[in-house]
Amino acid sequence: MISLKRVAGSAILISFCVGLTAAFISIEATNPKIISSLAPMQDSYLIHPNDHIANTPRPIDNYPYPIKMDDIGPITPLFSGSLQYPFICMTEDSGFGQPIVDNQNGWGMPVFREGSDREKRGNIIGYSKDCSIQTGLQYHIIKENNQIELYTDQIIGEKDQLIRTEYGVIHRYIYLISMPITPSEIGSRLAKSQWNNKLIYQFTGGAGIGFRQGSMKPEKLIERRVEQLKSGYAVVTSGANRTSYTYNMLLSEDTARRLKKHFISLYQEPSYTVGVGGSGGGLAQYIMAQNAPGLIDGAIPLYSYPDMVSQTLYALDCDLLNSYYSFNSNDQEYWQNWDNRVHVDGLNAKNAEPHKGAFFQPINQILKAQAPSYPKGNSECINGWFGLYAFIHNPRQGWLRNYVTNELKQHVHWSHWQDLVNVYGKDEHGFARDVWGNEGVQYGLQALKNEQITIEQFIDLNKKVGGWRENHEFEKEKITTIPFSNIKIWLSLWGNHNSTTNSAQSHNGIAPRKPTDKLAVEKAYRYGQVFLGKSDIPILDVRHYLEDNLDMHHVSASFSARLRIKDFNGDYDNQVIWVADENYSPVVQAFETMDTWLLNIKAGKNITQAKPIAATDKCFDAKGNTIAQGSTVWDGDWNQQPNGQCSSQFKIYSNSRIQAGGPWSGAVFECAKVSVESAIKSGIYGKVNISQYKTELDKIFPKGVCDYTKGDAAMPKNLLSKL
């Protein structure tokens, strides 16, 4: 059985640090193996939403499916906008050889004469800006013990399963179609005698900001879905549906639609299509259910979030809060008890737990002329989200590896927002707009009301925490190397050089907050990058309980999605939440339950009538036994109820925006503001008598404080009613 578990808590940290290390290796501009020249931009059609993308008809796709063998698929997206350059080809990383030469102008990745010395420019035979490969077939064997082997004419055992995988490109991303077959069907593209007429669309997670094709290896896809392939399912996927490479959900949908049309043109319409995938691959299914009805008929999101952009609200708070605890607090010893950080971060933290950034803290403190101290714990804010702001948000940093020249790096804004600049648009400085802001956010408000921090600590925190600078003001991370070693030292820990706390913007000891760009938020809503709860398909939300590991995939995200579904639909009958001990994987059981649910719907029952008995909220122990199940087992703070049996067993943590008084559903990009005086009168501070601090709070929050009862002030009016 393939385990649901993945070492994901530090996934962003690891991928970022690996990329960062590579970024600081000197790259010669003359290196023939890397991109030195950008292809000219190609204007492509970008769909314009009617209120919301879900209400907007997609253009007719006139491509003559199926994609022919030894040919290439469509390069230009149908409706998701222009092609992005630079674009890093990774066909060789995927095992499919060099990409096809498509120009002699020096645009894109160099292509070399086969078997030649790639250190010599004279061996370049052309360039590939669009990373195409010819459509082809590979064969693999799933052995009786579930080991995967490449088929090379060896004898196939009686209990082995042969898998044919078609590979090719759509929109420059590699796609894969895996189908169980018999040995007699080798060589036939269309053979499907082992197919059960059911299709799995594999979405995959990770942290990505675009600019690369990504590695797509057939054996990895087979390994992920080994049990389902052995049961007769066909499986499709694309690099455009892997968030390691892009969080562009419009491009993800555009590609998924075309890949599914290609599949149907070869094998007929499946009985149903079920989505599956973890983390970013989980949130993609929520977004597809909302934006593209009919693309998938059921969803099995694993380790999911409702969407990417609303989670950045609290994730980008993390480094600001870490910077406050490490450098700016009046009471640093208090925050050395990591249990106290939970009251503000919301996310879990542990005393005496080491973390990879600990070594940098005393060095950075000395550089700031402060007494050095070594951190005495770790938190999800660090273990899960360390470096996220630099990777996702800092246009000067982001994903930098030795695939492009240093000169070229300076001409590209490396961030998630730039990846979706077609959607978000550009500001007056030419940088992609972003949705993050924190004006009016009273960090630690709930902790104050619960008497977990004092009024003085609350004031100090909100006075100094600040916000992120504007995108055009960002600087690269300050990193040095210890002489005669390859050890990197981060001298701008927690991105403190890019926060308003340590910039010239800080005045009178008060660090300004970053205002929300309403236009960017409007675009995010209208283009469906935010999950609003619109969904009418069965959703079986499955995850391991990983809070004790300080993993970034926290349970509360499932309930954030649930609350949005309830707000939109009036109920959440179509969503079921399963949480398991990390030593047990309920994925096979989830597929069996989803199969019954979807077949019942196909038989004519509505989604509620079709729901099998097994499709109910539950939690599992390490041996796979059900601890508890039923409609109340997950009750807790998220729905203002006493803890149920599962939430008592598996604690549900919150996040910094919830601890600041925000809703568990999240997605408040700009809160409605009220004066401090009005906040006091309306009871926002609970029983805490904060009146004598009104003048100081007025200075910290000159535009007022958040009143979360009024929803998101940046959401376009009547958007929900028109959905």
Residue 502 pLDDT exceeds 80: no
pLDDT tens profile 350-383: 999 999 889 999 999 999 999 999 999 999 999 9
The answer to whether 94 and 174 are in contact (CB under 8 A) is yes
Q: What is the mean pLDDT of residues 107-112?
A: 96
- Rounded to two decimals, the pTM is 0.94
Tokens of 161: 């399963």
pLDDT tens profile 399-455: 657 889 888 888 899 999 999 999 999 999 999 999 999 999 999 999 999 999 999
In this prediction, residue 9 carries a pLDDT of: 34
pLDDT tens profile 650-699: 999 999 999 999 999 999 999 999 999 999 999 999 999 999 999 999 99
Q: Using CA atoms, how far apart are residues 392 and 416, in angstroms rounded to an integer? A: 5
Q: How confident is the model at residue 26 (pLDDT cuts 50, 70, 90)?
A: very low
Q: Using CA atoms, how far apart are residues 675 and 48, in angstroms rounded to an integer? A: 38
Residue 101 pLDDT exceeds 90: yes
Q: Which is it for strands 173-181 and 618-620: parallel, antiparallel or unpaired?
A: unpaired
In this prediction, residue 14 carries a pLDDT of: 30
Q: Percentage of residues in the chain with pLDDT exceeding 70?
A: 95
Residue 13 pLDDT exceeds 50: no
Q: Using CA atoms, how far apart are residues 469 and 395, in angstroms rounded to an integer? A: 12
Q: Using CA atoms, how far apart are residues 106 and 30, in angstroms rounded to an integer? A: 12
Q: Percentage of residues in the chain with pLDDT exceeding 90?
A: 87
In this prediction, residue 505 carries a pLDDT of: 62
Residue 1 pLDDT exceeds 90: no
pLDDT tens profile 576-586: 999 999 999 99
Q: Using CA atoms, how far apart are residues 103 and 105, in angstroms rounded to an integer? A: 6
Distances (CA, A) of 385 to 9, 282, 438, 660: 8, 18, 18, 19
pLDDT tens profile 376-393: 999 999 999 988 889 899
Tokens of 618: 């539950």
DSSP β-bridge partners for residue 175: 168, 238
Residue 16 pLDDT exceeds 50: no
Mean pLDDT score of the chain, rounded to an integer?
93
In this prediction, residue 17 carries a pLDDT of: 36
In this prediction, residue 410 carries a pLDDT of: 86
In this prediction, residue 205 carries a pLDDT of: 95
Tokens of 429: 């400085």
Tokens of 337: 């008890």
pLDDT tens profile 526-535: 999 999 999 9
In this prediction, residue 411 carries a pLDDT of: 87
The answer to whether 657 and 441 are in contact (CB under 8 A) is yes
The answer to whether 53 and 525 are in contact (CB under 8 A) is no
pLDDT tens profile 328-345: 999 989 999 999 999 999
Q: What is the mean pLDDT of residues 143-151?
A: 94
Return the DSSP state at 561.
Answer: H
